[in-house]
Amino acid sequence: MEIIPVDAHITAIDHNLLGIPGIGVTYVVRGDTVALIETGTSLTVPHTLAGLEQLGIRPEEVEHILCTHIHMDHAGGAGYLAAALPRAHVYINSSVSKHLVDPSKLLPSVRRAVGEEAWPLHGDIKPIPAERLLPAENLRLDLGRDVVLEAIATPGHSPDHLSYRDHKSGGLFIGDAAGLAMDRWHLALPVTPVPTYDLEAHRATIARIRSYHFPRIYITHYGPHDDVDYELNRAQEKLEELVALVDAAIADGDPDVNALAARWLPYPDDSPGALVARCWSQMSVAGLIRYETKRRQSL
């Protein structure tokens, strides 16, 4: 677990997502009350709680847990955090909140998406009582001390995806809305997962984020970035590179997920980041193949 200062009112806790530092964070936003943005998986919760203790934040001070979307590396730890933080409500797009009340359908879907190699690193999901869940899609949350968080719809990576604008800093908590930037492991890529990825919505979201001219983005994978145009351009270029690879493979009639992933994101096997590179690139290739196959069948 690592504490990363971000701003006067924002701190990031590296919670060792997938058992690796430099992959995922939970953001701590402080006004008169405290909000957490992103939960990691259930396996990251002990690290997040240790980080809160190190920051001197008592469990009862945390009143809000905001998730950008339903994927387990962003919302999987919500139930365990809610149990440990007795005053906190969990905010997520209401279209998917049922999966945090009853995760029985979500878990097998995630397992198929992430693959057997990465699945054991995702833990489980503790069901959340419905009364602890609140809709996030129209959220404007005033934490006091001029700290206001506002939801912005950013679909594509998933249809329920939301980002949260911090009015005090002007930055955007972006989740997986554009691309990932895990510089410790020299990994930068968009993730285009099965089963509900939408390429056109993703392109529109990147363009929309660009149009706001945010001075900073807070990426879940990983950390704050002030070079917003650079990060958005890098994500767009890597996305279009993947689109071109998949288009050519489908045209050839035999798209091989593993081979395409290795071409799109070659990465040394002896690095701790290799598991992330391998599994997330394979998931992205599979998601884009599924999207493009369905699109062509509907023509």
- Classify strands 180-182 and 147-153 as parallel, antiparallel or unpaired: unpaired
**Which of 84, 76, 91 has its CA nearest to residue 44?**
76
pLDDT at 210: 97
Q: Other CB atoms closer than 10 Å to residue 88's CB: what's the count?
A: 23
pLDDT at 29: 98
pLDDT at 287: 96
Q: Report the SS3 class of residue 150.
A: strand
Between helix 257-264 and helix 274-297 the angle, nearest 10°, is 120
Asked if 205 and 152 touch (Cβ cutoff 8 Å), the reply is no
pTM value? 0.97
Phi and psi torsions of 59, nearest 5°:
-55, -40
pLDDT in tens, 235-277: 999 999 999 999 999 998 878 999 999 999 999 988 889 999 9
pLDDT at 298: 87
**Stretch 275-287: mean pLDDT, rounded?**
96
Measured CA distances, 3 to 27, 48, 127 (Å): 10, 10, 28
Quote the CATH superfamily of domain 2-229. Answer: Ribonuclease Z/Hydroxyacylglutathione hydrolase-like (3.60.15.10)
Which amino acid would we find at residue 220? T
Q: Give the whole-angstrom CA distance, residue 130 versus residue 113.
A: 26
For residue 134, is pLDDT > 80? yes
**Stretch 55-68: mean pLDDT, rounded?**
98
